[in-house]
Structure 1
Amino acid sequence: MPLYPASVNIDFNATELNAAIASITNALATLQTTVEDNEGSITSIATELANQNTRLGNIEIAESSLWSNFNGLVSNVNSLTQTVDSQDSIISYVNNENANQRVQIQDLQTQIVALQKVLPQGFQHFHDTSKVLVGNALSPVQVAASFYSTMWQQNPAALNDSFSFTALLSPGTYTLVMLVTRANNKGKLKLSINGVQAFDDLDGYNSTTIYERITRTITITTSGLQEFVFTVWGKNSLSSGYAFLVNKISAYKM
């Protein structure tokens, strides 16, 4: 029995068949290459997606850190705001205190002005009540022809003898009056008031004994108790000693 029916005419061409098979084979090879390329692309895309996911994770971490920093900044701003509010409160308190103190200062200044009007405008001081600072004690000398008959000096006298007294005065310019004995054994005297030198030119030397009313101009700069310090700082080259014989020291406002 024949393989094919008698009515079927099979025109078999081996060359064309081989060519078709080769074409199909090439197409399959090309398709295989394309599939492999696609698989490589898929792998590359998968790798890139993994990298993108990693980067996205890093961004999320960075974003979380940024939010944390932002929250910290907000907290710092709030804390700073509270500090500023507290400082404003302190400044307000200080300003109020300063205003109160200015009022108190004005009141004190008013009181000082009023007090200056009633403070003494001068003084009288007898030398026997002076306080000796340096040297020997004060001794009386009876001189009938002198002022008030009795005068006082440190005895025996020496260089740097010093005495002081205080007087309550208001500020201003005063005439200082000293009732003294000048002679050939007297020293040179200087005066400081509240630690500031007022003069140093009082020379007690004279070739003969005389009784004088010596004056100097002094300035009082502040109200209140003033300290007068007299010091024997030297002597005339013709003098034989350093004595300073005085009866009374007084002052009156000019």
Structure 2
Amino acid sequence: MLEIILWILLAAVVAFLAVIFVRAAMFKPKPERKSSGKQVIVNEEKTVQDMVEMIRCKTVSYNDESLLDKAEFKKFQELLPKIYPEIHSRLSRQFIGVNGMLYHWKGKKEGRPVVLMSHYDVVPVEESQWEKPAFEGIVEDGVLWGRGTLDTKGTLCGIMEAAEQLLKEGYVPEHDIYFAFSGQEEINGPSCPSIVDWFEKKGISPAMVVDEGGAVVENVFPGVARECALIGIAEKGLTNIEFHAKSNGGHASMPPVHTIVGELAQAVPAVS
């Protein structure tokens, strides 16, 4: 009887692998869309200066609210209308949650919208470990130094610069576009969930959500010679785990072979 079960399991594994290999062999990628070749106009000097002004806003998030400089977050919020007048004259902006901002760009027709996300808060800075001051926005040799340049005021700046330029050119998107910006991402604050709740209450189900994402990488997968980027189908979760352990008493001069501290240390990687 056991032999029959093993043969059945083996047959199932072989069939499963056969399906995978056949499907892989039959897979044909869709034709690659080619760029229109249209020249993209970028005012590099303005874009860099706008980014510098964003960096100079010390929007540092802390779990301890007493350490929070709310005036810096207000400064950032008031900066955006000054450097992006077209956006703020033609798109609506509303504040959601503690310091979330949601922009609405009306499209030509009804349909599921696109949501472009970023956050403008940053983590605390240890200035002694920086080669340049973290909040002065120094530009040297084509490099902009500052906390938030990558995570993720750079993304926010890119979204806003593109929208500002497209509005000047008279562009109107086919469907609605939303810009969802949070100032609490680094501390997992309630502003992002509040924006999600707003969409749910309005019955809006986006066709696509673009967040800060990961990196565009090379030479990661065997057989893939071109650059690769991950398309996420879910959001990573968050969990807190508390470990408790008990042991017999004793004296540090005569420790057991396996101490309670060692056992706890072993448990951490075992569940991670």
TM norm structure 2: 0.22
TM norm structure 1: 0.23
